[in-house]
């Protein structure tokens, strides 16, 4: 069930578009910010709010990689694997994360703390390799510094 | 050297406020509109200035605008959209502008709206750009409070409303018709063209989509005129360009320089040359959908009209350098894996062809590729050439592959003859540099 606050936020989002459907992505992201991910129940509620079918909304939700249809950890780390970061050794940093936290790309640590996902170029190539954890970007990361960075996210 | 787009950006990365922006001449061109500069005058200025779109294609902005229906019978509303998707690997220039000087985008969009009598704008921003989103939201709120947005601009009868749309990932959203679908709350698959967005776009209405950097040029063209704008560049295309460099150079970064600056100047003078111990082998001049340039091309002016089409395209102007400690096949494999993952899946050649290319390149890296595989790669550059797929993603993916097969063919052949990647066993590659 969507809360009153969530409904109000959705009403706000809809104001930016000529029809409710236009706000589909905003709506999914808005609810995800509060709930972490979009469960089937939430999907049904949002679809009802937008006056479209749940199937239709799910086809949108599953298209975009920043919308999660499965649970994620308390923090989400997006590891850039595009070219400038690859040249500067992102694979070694990822290897180090795996050693430290026993987590591969697409997985969540067993304590539910961190989900590790690959991401396309973060637009931080001048300080490659880069990682984004939640909303914070960290550049010039190395296998030696990555632990110190990840430790800030409990 | 003038740097109209970036001269006021704070070097420490802090926000530039509305007050500072206005003090340095921001929103001044709105007075010119009030003083009688008509929409068609703005259109004419932009055409005369020779402004070419900065999203990678370099399409002349004035020409694009000329297809928008004008006059009392034109459909209403019309839309202006800023393409801030910026997911082309190696590209970070729009972020620099949006974070550093958010009001410039708003002012540019108001001007485009005025020129085309379009009263609603959307900024389409990639979801990962949280700092840009925060600063743009702040700037939009300030512009509303000051009456630049949402109120009739005094003396013009024109009013512009602006919304920020934060996206949710997927590279294909940057393709302008896919972007329109995304803005409508749908899956971001491209639409057939024609009809072009200028006549039938967002919610079926006339729509102009321009790259973020393109909009930043507009206030300066209106304030200083076409002749001044031409004087900024080294070539026939007007203005400056934000160039960038990443890879193993001494100072990776970005610089606003005259359009038509050579890759050699950018790499050697601005980026400080190659990092210690590595040598230059090639460069993708503007994102990964462009062809490699090699040593013999470094003195060509980098703009939208001087590079011979058989050599390549400028693209986004943010370069990625290939050095001699990096395997060219591994480099291209990284690119093709990106394209295969980001294909929207709408048309078969791209959906099936790109993963196939990535698999073949993997076999080179793993040391079990044959001569037939090399031939297959060559074939794919033809099968996925422009005209064979629904949009430009797959042909873009073939540009670096085809040029790599041309310039670095011996490296591909060595993977076959040695049965392994010549770079993979070198611990040196891991140690030399970061
Ligand atoms: C696969 C693909 C991705 C694209 N991504 C972007 C992008 O992120 N930003 C952008 O401005 N243009 C992008 N473009 C180009 C746009 O379709 C469009 O041409 C451009 O936004 C027009 O703006 P301009 O004329 O100001 O350059 C992309 C094109 C393709 C085929
Ligand atoms: S070329 Fe690729 S990205 Fe473009 S429409 Fe076809 S499948 Fe989608
Ligand atoms: S390639 Fe990683 S931030 Fe651009």
Preceding amide of B400 cis, omega within 30: no
Average pLDDT of the segment spanning A84-99: 97
Ligand having the closest approach to the CA of B388: 2
Q: Choose among B185, B224, B201: nearest CA to B5.
A: B224
CB < 8 Å to B182, chain A: 25
Residue of A13, A23, A25, A65 to mutate, interface with B, max B Cβ within 10 Å: A25
Class of residue B399 by CB neighbours under 10 A (exposed 0-12, middle 13-18, buried 19+): buried
Binned at pLDDT 50, 70 and 90, residue A101 comes out as very high
How far apart are the C-alpha atoms of A91 and A51, rounded to whole Å? 44
Look-up: residue for tokens 């190696």?
A: B90
The CB of B244 under 6 Å from ligand 3? The reply is no
Ligand 3: atom nearest CA of A84 is 1
- CATH code for residues B240-323: 3.10.20.600
- The pLDDT score that the predictor gives to residue B431 is 38
Q: B244 vs B130, B328, B351, B394, CA distance in Å?
A: 21, 21, 31, 24
Predicted confidence (pLDDT) at residue B132 exceeds the cutoff of 70: yes
Q: Provide mean pLDDT across the span B52-69.
A: 97
User: What's the ipTM?
Assistant: 0.98
How far, in whole angstroms, is CA A130 from its chain's centroid?
A: 16
**How many helices (H) and strands (E) are present in chain B, helices listed first?**
17, 8
- Among residues A63, A18, A14, the alpha carbon closest in space to that of A38 is found at A63
Report whether pLDDT(B321) > 70. Answer: yes
Per residue in A24-56, pLDDT (tens digit) is 999 999 999 999 999 999 999 999 999 999 999
In this prediction, residue B428 carries a pLDDT of 38
- Residue B424's pLDDT is 86
Q: Is A105 on the interface with B (CB under 8 A)?
A: no
Residues of B in contact with A124 (CB under 8 A): 92
The residue extents of the domains of chain B are 18-231, 240-323, 328-433
Domain boundaries of chain A, sorted by first residue? 4-61, 75-150
Distance (Å, whole) CA B58 – CA B52 = 5
DSSP H or E segment with residue A6: helix A4-14
Question: Which ligand 1 atom lies nearest to the CA of residue B177?
Answer: 17
- How does residue B1 score in pLDDT terms, banded at 50, 70 and 90? confident
Compute, in angstroms, the gap from residue B55 CA to the centroid of ligand 1.
5
Q: Using alpha carbons only, what angle is made at residue B402 by residues A84 and B287, rounded to the nearest 5 degrees?
A: 30
Bridge partners (DSSP) listed for residue B293: B283
pLDDT of residue B425: 63
Beta-carbon count within 10 A of B277 CB: 12
CB contact under 8 A, A126 and B247: no
**CATH architecture group of domain A75-150:** 3-Layer(aba) Sandwich (3.40)
Best to test chain A binding among B77, B86, B88, B89 (most A CBs inside 10 Å) = B89
Determine the residue of chain B that is closest to A123 in CA distance. B92
Q: Is the pLDDT of residue B354 over 80?
A: yes
pLDDT at site B432:
42
Report yes or no on whether pTM surpasses 0.90. yes
Mean pLDDT score, B300-312: 95
Instruction: Average the pLDDT over B406-411 and give the result.
Output: 98
**CA neighbours closer than 13 Å in the CB half-sphere of residue B42:** 27
pLDDT tens per residue, range B61-102 = 999 999 999 999 999 999 999 999 999 999 999 999 999 999
| A139 in contact with B, Cβ within 8 Å | no
Q: Which helix (H) or strand (E) holds B84?
A: strand B79-84
Is some CB atom of chain A closer than 8 A to the CB atom of B405?
no
Contacts of residue B29, defined as CB under 8 A and 6 or more positions apart, other chains included, come to B107, B111, B219, B222, B223
Kindly report the average pLDDT of chain A as a whole number: 97
pLDDT of residue B434: 38
User: Among partner residues B131, B165, B168, which is closest to A67 by beta-carbon distance?
Assistant: B168
The whole-angstrom separation of Cα A30 and Cα B311 is 45
The closest CB to that of A84, out of B87, B89, B188, belongs to B89
Could you tell me which residues come within 8 angstroms of residue B384 by beta carbon, excluding any fewer than 6 positions away? B349, B350, B353, B354, B357, B394, B395, B397, B398
Mean pLDDT computed over A73-96: 97
DSSP secondary structure string for all residues of B213-273? HHHHHHHHHHHH-HHHHHHTSSSSS-SEEEEEEESSBSS-EEEEEETT-BHHIIIIIIS-S
A119 touches chain B (CB under 8 A): yes
Cα–Cα distance between B296 and A63 in angstroms, integer?
42
- Beta strand pairing call for B253-258 and B240-246: antiparallel
- Is A127's C-beta closer than 6 angstroms to any atom of ligand 3? no
Distance from CA of A107 to the nearest CA of B (A): 18
Mean pLDDT calculated for residue range A54-73:
98
pLDDT tens digits along B105-130 = 999 999 999 999 999 999 999 999 99
Taking the C-alpha atoms of residue B327 and residue A69, their distance in angstroms, rounded to an integer, is 37
Q: Which of B180, B306, B219 is nearest to B33 (CA)?
A: B219
pLDDT greater than 90 at residue B429: no
For A60, which of B127, B185, B334 is closest by C-beta distance?
A: B185
H-helix or E-strand containing A13?
helix A4-14
pLDDT averaged over every residue in chain B = 96
CATH number for B18-231: choose from 3.40.50.11540, 3.30.930.10, 3.40.50.20, 1.10.340.30. 3.40.50.11540
Of the options 3.30.9, 1.10.10, 2.40.50, 2.60.40, the CATH number for the domain spanning A4-61? 1.10.10
Percent of chain B with pLDDT over 90: 97
Class of the CATH-defined domain B328-433: mainly alpha
């Amino acid at each position: 069930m969507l809360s009153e606050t969530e409904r109000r936020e959705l009403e706000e989002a809809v104001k930016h578009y000529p029809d409710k459907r236009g706000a589909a992505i905003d709506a999914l992201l808005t609810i995800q910010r509060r709930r972490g991910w979009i469960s089937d129940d939430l999907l049904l509620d949002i679809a009802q709010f937008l006056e479209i079918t749940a199937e239709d909304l799910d086809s949108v939700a599953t298209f975009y990689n920043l919308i999660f249809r499965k649970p994620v950890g308390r923090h989400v780390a997006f590891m850039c694997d595009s070219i400038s970061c690859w040249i500067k050794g992102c694979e070694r940093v990822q290897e180090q994360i795996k050693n430290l936290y026993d987590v591969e790309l697409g997985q969540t640590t067993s304590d539910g703390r961190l989900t590790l996902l690959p991401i396309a170029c973060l637009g931080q190539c001048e300080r490659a390799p880069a990682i984004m954890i939640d909303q914070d970007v960290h550049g010039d990361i190395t296998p030696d510094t990555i632990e110190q960075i990840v430790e800030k996210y409990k | 050297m003038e740097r109209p787009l970036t001269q006021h950006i704070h070097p420490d990365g802090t926000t530039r406020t509305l007050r500072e922006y206005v003090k340095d001449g921001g929103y001044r061109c709105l007075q010119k509109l009030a003083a009688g500069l008509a929409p068609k005058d703005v259109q004419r200025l932009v055409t005369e200035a020779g402004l070419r779109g900065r999203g990678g294609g370099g399409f002349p902005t004035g020409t694009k605008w000329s297809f928008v229906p004008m006059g009392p019978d034109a459909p209403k509303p019309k839309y202006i959209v800023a393409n801030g998707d910026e997911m082309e690997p190696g590209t970070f220039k729009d972020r620099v502008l949006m974070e550093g000087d958010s009001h410039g985008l708003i002012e540019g969009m108001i001007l485009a709206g005025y020129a085309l009598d379009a009263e609603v704008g959307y900024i389409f921003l990639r979801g990962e750009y949280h700092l840009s989103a925060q600063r743009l939201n702040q700037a939009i709120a300030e512009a509303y409070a000051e009456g630049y947005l949402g109120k009739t601009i005094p003396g013009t009868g024109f009013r512009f409303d602006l919304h920020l749309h934060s996206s949710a990932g997927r590279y294909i959203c940057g393709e302008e018709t896919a972007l329109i679908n995304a803005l409508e709350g749908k899956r971001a698959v491209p639409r057939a063209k024609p009809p072009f967005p200028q006549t039938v776009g967002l919610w079926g209405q006339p729509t102009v989509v321009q790259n973020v950097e393109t909009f930043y040029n507009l206030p300066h063209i209106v304030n200083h005129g076409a002749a001044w704008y031409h004087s900024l560049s080294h070539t026939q295309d007007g203005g400056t360009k934000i160039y960038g460099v990443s890879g193993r150079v001494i100072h990776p970064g970005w610089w606003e320089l005259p359009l038509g600056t050579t890759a050699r100047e950018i790499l050697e003078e601005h980026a400080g040359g190659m990092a210690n111990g590595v040598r230059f082998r090639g460069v993708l001049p503007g994102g990964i959908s462009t062809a490699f340039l090699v040593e013999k091309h470094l003195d060509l002016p980098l703009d939208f009209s001087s590079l011979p089409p058989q050599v390549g395209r400028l693209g986004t102007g943010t370069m990625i350098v290939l050095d001699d400690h990096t395997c060219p096949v591994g480099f291209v494999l990284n690119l093709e894996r990106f394209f295969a993952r980001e294909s929207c899946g709408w048309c078969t050649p791209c959906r099936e062809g790109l993963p196939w290319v990535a698999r073949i390149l993997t076999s080179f890296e793993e040391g079990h590729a044959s001569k037939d595989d090399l031939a297959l790669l060559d074939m794919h550059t033809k099968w996925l050439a422009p005209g064979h797929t629904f949009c430009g993603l797959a042909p873009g993916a073939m540009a670096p592959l085809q040029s790599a097969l041309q310039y670095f063919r011996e490296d591909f052949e060595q993977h076959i003859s040695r049965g392994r990647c010549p770079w993979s066993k070198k611990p040196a590659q891991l140690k030399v540099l970061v």
